[in-house]
Chain A
């Protein structure tokens, strides 16, 4: 497993329905902003509570002499509770997210994929103190500053994150939790084929050619990324795969490799398995086969390409693949 596993940050989870799906782990660079946001929110709340109590205390002081110390007491307990249990309460009641995690799109779950339990949330938030160790004193940099001013360096947490498979800090290890990327928006991409030459060429691919799984995956990846490349680059990438295929299919040597890969993709994913011949339109009667090379035309011919482009349904070849996103509608 360790040798074959890709060097990646995805982690597999098997659900009670016995379905395996994947999560992407969140590393330190996604978690630090979340922590900083939480820190800011915590102090914002503390200051807001202080202001509210100061105003309320000012009003109440006319009524009773108890209110001053009492509001002070509430304030102190409030600070204590917010500083120690902010993360616990949010993660336990907000489905594994604090405000910072929610804004950064990450979430805490148990290592077995179940949601975090309040006990785990408590433990991992208490142990943050140890993860932020050792504290660096600011007086190291400037002897003028008082030694009480310290900033936590977080080296313990960083080192454990780097050394564990699931990028867990100490608190995560003890609580059995991990932080994952929780993407909220995404789109369902489907490649559309608008080039009339593609079905034409696909109809010449021999029926006994079986496309393996690996080949299918390669074709899909190629079709998805194809429109990011310039035509010469496409040909260069595709040539490695198509040269043996042209031999095998007995096609003409000068056929466009990009077009061949694309029609293979069309045949694999988009064409109906029913053997109806595609409507070739003006392209009918042409053949890419090597034995027909002496006949007029062929798909690699310039004249044919021009003809294909003059057909109204055919769009610009550079934009033949469009990533259509209609997931939200």
Chain B
């Protein structure tokens, strides 16, 4: 019953745990406290002290400890808990699994990817047709992009593509930071759904209108323009659609709950969206390297077309072959579901087996 004596007895342990926590917070190890706490011995000591503090906290009510002491114990346990259960750092293997195992599976199964792809490429094609058809839709492309912008684009492709090789790395870096940034932003806006769709549609229409304008008759830089966009087109356009798809998955989690509570549904959607976004970011980087090193170079058009075909087939392989639903990989849940008939059957066979045994 004497709390003062009890506290006096436990206080040495508590302050030792505190010192261990302090050492672990600073260095991540307990060595600095002296020879007694070096290496494995320190960790064992920490674990037993932590368990003792947990037990004290659990019994605080029974001991009728003063509230101040209980608060102290709460903080001590929380602090030790934070050191005991530290963040598992991301391993390269983990990211490899996310990129090559989880992402294609998600992309293959995700309805948002289909919607985003249809919205993006549909609007892109529509804008391109409208931009190209000068007679039916005069001034469409000019109204969308602004005629100044179009003239600038046209002027920049007047010369044959021949950028000095030392400029490649800077260009690639610019495309990485600029385009991937737009993709990440599009993904982040997805949680509010409308800005994400707006970004996607805006990019589709502007790109489509530019393409349409350049494909009109009598545009001087058209050949060079299409030569430029051929190589990195597949990666970049897919990446835009994918980042928006990841964002839409996030935003839909708020509405389409699948019977979960809204907060849990958002968490689930967040977990599902990360691999899609990671795949999209990887594609943006690949596209940026292509755009920086291959597209502006004076390499023959055949090489660029070949790379374009290769990258398209790589994307297809990634989506279809790696993404085709496989047994066991999509369902990681520990709770297995089984049909009733299966259960009955297995019971019957088991009963038969045991009957045969006797």
Contacts and interface: CB of A to CB of B under 8 A. Distances in A.
Given A21-B74, A220-B67, A92 B90 contact: yes
A72 B78 contact: no
Contact of B61 (A117, A129, A213): A213
B87 A117 contact: yes
B150 to A, nearest CB: 22
A87 interface: no
The size bracket of the interface on B is: 35 or more
A127 B254 CA distance: 15
Interface in A95-146: 95-96, 107, 109, 113-120, 122-123, 126-130, 133
A114 B68 contact: no
A127 B181 CA distance: 13
A65 interface: yes
B206 interface: no
A220 B267 contact: no
B51 interface: yes
Contact of A126 (B2, B187, B192): B187
Contacts of B137: none
A156 B192 contact: yes
Interface in B156-212: 166-170, 172-174, 176-177, 180-181, 184-185, 187-192, 195
Interface stretch (A25-33, A184-192, A280-288): A184-192
B170 A174 contact: no
Contacts of A183: 75, 79
A130 B192 contact: yes
A149 B58 CA distance: 55
Contacts of A16: 85
A137 B189 CA distance: 18
Nearest to B186: A129
A59 interface: no
Interface string B194-238: 010000000000000000000000000000000000000000000
Interface in A308-329: 326-329
Contact of A128 (B64, B188, B250): B188
B68 A70 contact: no
Q: Which of A84, A116, A273 has the most CB of B within 10 A?
A: A84
The size bracket of the interface on A is: 35 or more
Interface string B273-313: 11001000000000000000000000000000000000000
A93 to B, nearest CB: 6
A51 interface: no
A297 interface: no
A270 interface: yes
Given A77-B173, A269-B66, A19 B54 contact: yes
A271 interface: yes
Contact of A190 (B7, B64, B180): B7
A325 to B, nearest CB: 10
Interface in B58-79: 58, 61, 64, 66-69, 72-75, 77-79
Nearest to B77: A21
Contacts of A223: 66
A224 B82 contact: no
B271 interface: yes
Contacts of B11: 188, 326-327
Contact of A129 (B1, B85, B185): B185
Contacts, number: 197
B169 to A, nearest CB: 4
Contacts of B128: none
Nearest to B1: A273
B274 A119 contact: yes
Interface string B304-326: 00000000000000000000000
Given A19-B58, A80-B177, A271-B2, A216 B7 contact: no
A175 B170 contact: no
Interface string A248-285: 00000000000000000000111111000000000000
B263 A173 contact: yes
A9 interface: no
A133 B192 contact: yes
A268 to B, nearest CB: 7
A69 B169 contact: yes
A217 interface: yes
Interface in A66-84: 66, 68-70, 72-77, 79-80, 83-84
Contacts of A164: 263
Given A17-B54, A95-B86, A190 B4 contact: yes
A220 B87 contact: no
Contact of B86 (A66, A115, A123, A190): A115
Interface string B4-20: 11010001001100100
B87 A118 contact: yes
B173 A74 contact: yes
Contact of B15 (A83, A174, A268, A329): A329
A70 B164 CA distance: 13
A174 B58 contact: no
Contact of B82 (A95, A130, A175): A95
A123 B274 contact: yes
Given A19-B57, A189-B68, A122 B274 contact: yes
B246 to A, nearest CB: 10
B3 interface: yes
A175 B169 contact: no
Contacts of A83: 181
Contact of A73 (B68, B73, B172, B188): B172
B57 A269 contact: no
A274 B170 CA distance: 83
Contact of A268 (B5, B64, B67, B277): B64
B333 interface: no
Contacts of B188: 126-130
Given A184-B79, A191-B66, 16 more contacts: A19-B58, A21-B81, A66-B166, A80-B177, A80-B181, A119-B98, A129-B185, A129-B188, A130-B188, A130-B192, A170-B192, A176-B267, A213-B61, A213-B64, A220-B66, A270-B3
